[in-house]
Structure 1
Amino acid sequence: MLQRLSDIDHRTWMQEATPTVTPERLLIVTDAWHPQVNGVVRSIENTNRELARMGVDVTMLTPEGFRSIPCPTYPEIRLSIASYRRVAARIAKAKPSYVHIATEGPLGLTARRWCKKNGMPFSTTYHTRFPEYVSARLPIPKSWLYAFVRWFHNAGFGCMVATPSLANELKAKGIRNLLPWTRGIDHELFRPQALEAEPFGLKRPIFMTVGRVALEKNLPAFLDLDLPGSKVVIGDGPALAELKKLYPDVLFTGPKFGEELATAYAQADVFVFPSKTDTFGNTILEALASGVPVAAYPVTGPADILGGYEKAGAVHHDLTEACLTALTCSREEARALALTYTWEAATKQFIGNVRVANYRGRMIRRA
């Protein structure tokens, strides 16, 4: 279960952690940033927009301004090369009231070191299944990688996770101070639109997936299915060229953004989410908001979002079964489910977690 403050602790936090200056100064440290296009970047961008509306002064510490090298086996991701002195100077200049570390990369590690050295409480987010992603590419035991994850996140005073099922998994791995942080969706951009007879020049039904075309997304599990109609993959990534050759009957559109992406989503009959390693699945919300039922495996993310909403999509260990069931689901119910997710609510949850983590750290220092 996600850890929660007792009623007494909550009242104390409201008294002592409520900001005494305006605006609050929040430093967010992330190794994932532009030009990367992924759920981490989008989540931080949307959260920052809402934080600004709430009067929180946000400073970003990202790879921008630092020299970087390609990540081994994943060159699209750049790893920052920055000395402790340079990073420390950037943090000190920001004079943060709070520090939030979003990733376990080089900048995240250096910021963690600075916080520990200077007695600054910090919060973290478990955005990515880091052990699974690394062990899929390098011969490193997952047990070693989870030991690193525990070391990294347990040094903070609040590790944010997107779903209850993920919280349970991480708790079993020994990760402490877990706090809930869900996600939101732009309901105005991603919306139902008039359906074309043959979108993309293809026969219906259209089974679509959107996201990074990469190993960890488990795309062959979708592309190998024997389904009626047509398959569409939207996105870019290191596996794109290879998958195009292996699946000539599938339409790979490359990346789409903004209104073009929203229009494409709305033409799908079923959105297929084959990943078994995502911690949430922002694209699931984008599809649902577009009125598109979702088909997925019953794993962390889709199972949490679709659980109890069988008319909006289907989860099944047999992905073919999930896809065919989703064809019978309701576009109206899919949209209705998406409307329950907002970035305003998610951001209030986020900044509340940041304050709680800061309060916990300060109380421990006083003890």
Structure 2
Amino acid sequence: MTKLLIATDAWGPQINGVVRSLENIAAHASGFGVDVRFLTPTDFWTLPLPGYREIRLALANPRRVAGFIADFNPDFIHIATEGPIGLATRRACLAGKRTFTTSYHTRFPEYVAARLPVPIRMSYAALRRFHSAAAGTMVSSPSLENVLAGHGFRNLMRWSRGVDGTLFRPRPENALADLPRPIFLFVGRLAIEKNIEAFLKLDLPGSKVIVGDGPLQTRLAANYPKAHFLGSRSGEALAEIYSSADVFVFPSRTDTFGIVLLEALASGVPVAAFPVTGPLDVIGDSGAGVLSHDLREAALRALDISREHCRRYAAKFTWKESARQFFDNINVAQNRGLAIPLADLAEPA
């Protein structure tokens, strides 16, 4: 059985697409003959991320990471994130001349630019340097691949996402029966990069429901008292809310994929979103949603979409297929070797 170490700064109790993707990789690993171990913030002392205390930053260093690697002695290493654990693992891999892959989950340049006066090109240059040493960088969609290729990234590999169609499904129960219809739903982190106010400002009939928490929760709830903020939900409770909605509104312009889009569709709920990376790849011309620069128009038009059609379309996306793509990429990368020239191995990471 192949031994694979996955290093990630994103891990529970966080609820996000990175964590969910890695959890499903682990769930399907044995079926592909892979023994997966994770190097996560739970293996280190951590500090809360300033301004976003829900996220813990690991106090990782290459020496300790090298010890984890030596103890497990993996056949291959995948670095899922560009945070402290990812950086320390990259250094350890380069020092040990170990081949590794990376994945690009988050459009940090756009996120940073939304908070600080940092030019996007500078952030992309730093990220390009991080990923350039990898034998392959996995991306979730054609649109994201084009964006990164335009910024000089190379050795890009496709790794799509899936959905649990057993958990997320149309249900007879209505968890939102006490709210006026139609119900427009958002699920995700309440943070600036999600562009939630673009949804909350819309003049729409019925009710707006927000599921999730984050640094903007208090301010948004105070500024939009007519919206219904339900906090964080998971499992059956979340699935029941999805299936009780009429339209899922996805206002983000910076997500790399959007697993929540698939969860909504699998629940029989059409999507309204901007025509940007993520929605363009998941929804495209499927007819399972409406993409428009006028988000209000998209939300209202989505009301006419068949719930059965949404469900059938979502069935094309499975976590097993996602895992197959991931492990196929690992096999290809093992044959490539380190992408960075050996002469540059001593270069600071």
SS in 1 for 2:64: helix
Among 124, 132, 147, the residue aligned to 2:125:
147
**Which position in structure 1 is the counterpart of 2:152?**
174
- Is 1:91 the equivalent of 2:46? no
**Which position in structure 1 is the counterpart of 2:345?**
none
**Separation in structure 2 between the aligned mates of residue 363 and residue 217 of structure 1, nearest angstrom:** 33
- Is 1:156 the equivalent of 2:134? yes
Among 290, 314, 317, the residue aligned to 1:341:
317
**Separation in structure 2 between the aligned mates of residue 59 and residue 135 of structure 1, nearest angstrom:** 34
Question: Matched residue pairs, number?
Answer: 342
Say what the alpha-carbon RMSD is for the aligned residues: 1.5
Shift of the 143–104 alpha-carbon distance from structure 1 to 2, 3 Å rule, reads same
**Which position in structure 2 is the counterpart of 1:235?**
212
Q: 1:15-57 deviations in whole A, cap 9, x for unaligned?
A: xxxxxxxx10000000001111111101100111011232310
2:167, 2:236 within 8 Å by CA — same for their partners in 1? yes
Shift of the 108–180 alpha-carbon distance from structure 1 to 2, 3 Å rule, reads same
Task: Note the residue ranges of structure 1 that are not aligned, 5 or more in a row.
Answer: 1-22
Matches within 5 A, 1:310-329: 310=287, 312-329=288-305
Among 327, 331, 336, the residue aligned to 1:355:
331
**Separation in structure 1 between the aligned mates of residue 123 and residue 339 of structure 2, nearest angstrom:** 30
**Separation in structure 1 between the aligned mates of residue 341 and residue 73 of structure 2, nearest angstrom:** 19
1:98, 1:355 within 8 Å by CA — same for their partners in 2? no
**Aligned-pair distance for 1:364?**
9.0
SS in 2 for 1:201: coil
Task: Note the residue ranges of structure 2 that are not aligned, 5 or more in a row.
Answer: 343-349
2:274, 2:294 within 8 Å by CA — same for their partners in 1? yes
Q: 1:250-272 deviations in whole A, cap 9, x for unaligned?
A: 00000111111101100000000
The TM-score with structure 2 as length reference comes to 0.95
Shift of the 78–100 alpha-carbon distance from structure 1 to 2, 3 Å rule, reads same
**Separation in structure 2 between the aligned mates of residue 223 and residue 335 of structure 1, nearest angstrom:** 26
**Aligned-pair distance for 1:73?**
2.5
**Separation in structure 2 between the aligned mates of residue 190 and residue 364 of structure 1, nearest angstrom:** 42
- Is 1:104 the equivalent of 2:75? no
**Aligned-pair distance for 1:200?**
4.6
Write out the 4+ residue segments of structure 1 that deviate beyond 3 Å after TM superposition: 362-366
Matches within 5 A, 1:267-346: 267-310=244-287, 312-346=288-322
**Which position in structure 2 is the counterpart of 1:15?**
none
**Aligned-pair distance for 1:215?**
0.9
| 63-72 or 243-252, which deviates more | 63-72
**Separation in structure 1 between the aligned mates of residue 328 and residue 126 of structure 2, nearest angstrom:** 26
**Separation in structure 2 between the aligned mates of residue 247 and residue 283 of structure 1, nearest angstrom:** 23
